[in-house]
Amino acid sequence: MPGESFGSGLSGWLRLSLTQPDDRTVEAATRIAAHAASILGNAA
């Protein structure tokens, strides 16, 4: 969720809910890191 949903002080931040089982959370974090690395041109 965009941070702005929780006030202008959180503009530019991303809010995540960690309510899924650990294995799904790890998979999601791995995918997010790989995507960010591809955008930034870094290895994940």
The per-residue pLDDT of the chain, averaged, comes to 87
Rounded (5°) CA angle 23-4-36: 45
If you average pLDDT over residues 4-8, what whole number do you get?
86
Q: Name 4's Cβ contacts closer than 8 Å, sequence gap at least 6.
A: 10, 11
Listed by start position, the domains of the chain span 19-44
Binned at pLDDT 50, 70 and 90, residue 20 comes out as very high
Is the whole-model pTM more than 0.75? Answer: no
In which residue are the tokens 């809910």 written? Answer: 17
Say whether pLDDT at 24 is over 90: yes
Say whether pLDDT at 44 is over 60: no
